[in-house]
Amino acid sequence: MDQEQLAICQWLDNNQHRAVKLLQKLVEQPSTQGNEASAQAIVLEKCRQIGLEIDIWEPGGKKLKSHRHFYSTRSNFKESPNIAAVLKGSGGGKSLIFNGHIDVVPEGDLEQWDREPFFPKLENGNVYGRGTSDMKGGNVSMLMALEAISRCQTSIKGDIIFQSVIEEESGGAGTLDAILRGWEADAAIIPEPTNMKIFPKQQGSMWFKVIVHGKSAHGGTRYEGVSAIEKAMMVMNHIRELEKVRNDRITDPLYASTPIPIPINIGKITGGNWPSSVPDRVILEGRCGVAPNEQMEEVQQEMQEYLERLAGFDPWFADHPAELQWYGARWLPNELEPDHLLIDCLVQSFKEVTGEQPVMEASPWGTDAGMISAAGSIPSIVFGPGITETAHHPNEYIPVKNVIQAAKVMALFALKWCRTSKGESN
């Protein structure tokens, strides 16, 4: 590390207590969907203190809602602002987006928490609470990195655009609106909880329903009916085969340690309404993983065609086809070419900070990187301090050490990237 890098890392180490304080303040705000405003107010104040140029707005409008990648369960985003805040460069360098979402998933069953989810405590070097890992800890890493760059009076050429967005947990409308508002850059980094691994690729996903038909009859003469539950078992076995076919195609070494790179999960089943009747309708609901290099439409098409083959195995399905519907949330996949400068810069910075080679993997879940790449054509990468396994779970936490280390990596990375000339090849 050079003197400048050392100064930044030193500053971050010296200000660890401020990072913890900021994280605690953010986690104290239960910023579940529709309740993001008070957490955004804290972000805003921090951006102001750092001296960033601030844009704050409520997503919405026809352009957003008619966009092919728009999905939301909400009809409007009133009182759920997005924030973009810029650390201006001197010009001529590559620009960079630091993107993090402010929304958190609900705390779930309180019985399963050992601590209050929205009263974040620092214990044994970890901060506990809903959203610590996913991903307010990552947001704090970004803000601290920006502050370190600013306080150390380090010069950059390209701008760094910090984004605190809504709706990531519900389909990415916040990030999509930031893109539509014109917030673009030459690259984006998203500190989702990767356990300090680097994810140049991410799995996408879509929700689906399969409606399976049967024929009702009295249970005492069940042979006069056709059980939709039994037919649903055939459908599920068939979907298992499709999952195998789809995963056999995946040869990317980034998935080498993943048992099923793009799973198809059946998460819910409901069928029948009376113990003594043969059930005539079952609904399966699930999540279909999408490979980094796949288009959503081609995945839908493949599953549709695969389900149609059921008619060949069982004539029942010829007359009563299983109905496939795509509904609800979807997350776009993402991939970077293996030799992209973004990866190289991030790996270098990671090694400088930790002295170790980073672990590179493809993630088993989607992030806003898919949206940024698909809707904004911005190369995106995911790397963050959170603990993957605790995200969306009771007793979510994040090690403070990770938050600071990720901040160092991101600051050093930003210096490298934003000092590279705009025209320089990726």
Active-site residue list: 103, 168
Task: Provide the CA 54 distance to its chain's centre, in angstroms.
Answer: 24
* 270 touches a copy of itself by CB under 8 A: yes
* 268 touches a copy of itself by CB under 8 A: yes
* 316 touches a copy of itself by CB under 8 A: no
**What spatial distance separates the first Cα and last Cα of the chain, rounded to whole Å?**
23
Q: Which residues pair with 210 in a beta bridge?
A: 284, 324
Least CB distance from residue 137 to a copy of itself, whole Å? 19
Distance between CA atoms of residues 415 and 155, nearest Å: 8
Residues ≥6 apart with Cβ < 8 Å to 393: none
Distance between CA atoms of residues 233 and 403, nearest Å: 46
**In the range 337-366, which residues lie near a copy of itself by CB under 8 A?**
363-365
* 392 touches a copy of itself by CB under 8 A: yes
Hey, CA dihedral for 246, 249, 253, 258, is it positive or negative? positive
Q: Which residues pair with 199 in a beta bridge?
A: 382
CB-CB contact of 322 with 209 (8 Å): no
CB-CB contact of 75 with 190 (8 Å): no
Which of 7-15, 45-53, 228-236, 403-411 is the region at the interface with a copy of itself (rule: CB under 8 A)?
228-236
Q: Give the x/- contact pattern for a copy of itself in 283-312, rule: CB under 8 A.
A: --xxx-x-----------------------
158, 193, 279, 333: which one binds a copy of itself (CB under 8 A): 279
Least CB distance from residue 209 to a copy of itself, whole Å? 8
Half-sphere exposure of 124 (CA within 13 A, CB side): 3
Which of 33-41, 76-84, 180-188, 230-238 is the region at the interface with a copy of itself (rule: CB under 8 A)?
230-238
* 223 touches a copy of itself by CB under 8 A: yes
How big is the CA angle at 25 (ends 23 and 28), to the nearest 5 degrees? 105
Beta carbon nearer to a copy of itself, 69 or 330: 330
CB-CB contact of 58 with 79 (8 Å): yes
Q: Give the x/- contact pattern for a copy of itself in 161-200, rule: CB under 8 A.
A: ----------------------------------------
* 221 touches a copy of itself by CB under 8 A: yes
Q: Interface residues with a copy of itself (CB under 8 A)?
A: 203, 205, 207-208, 218-223, 227, 229-230, 232-233, 236, 259-260, 263, 265-279, 282, 285-287, 289, 328, 363-365, 392
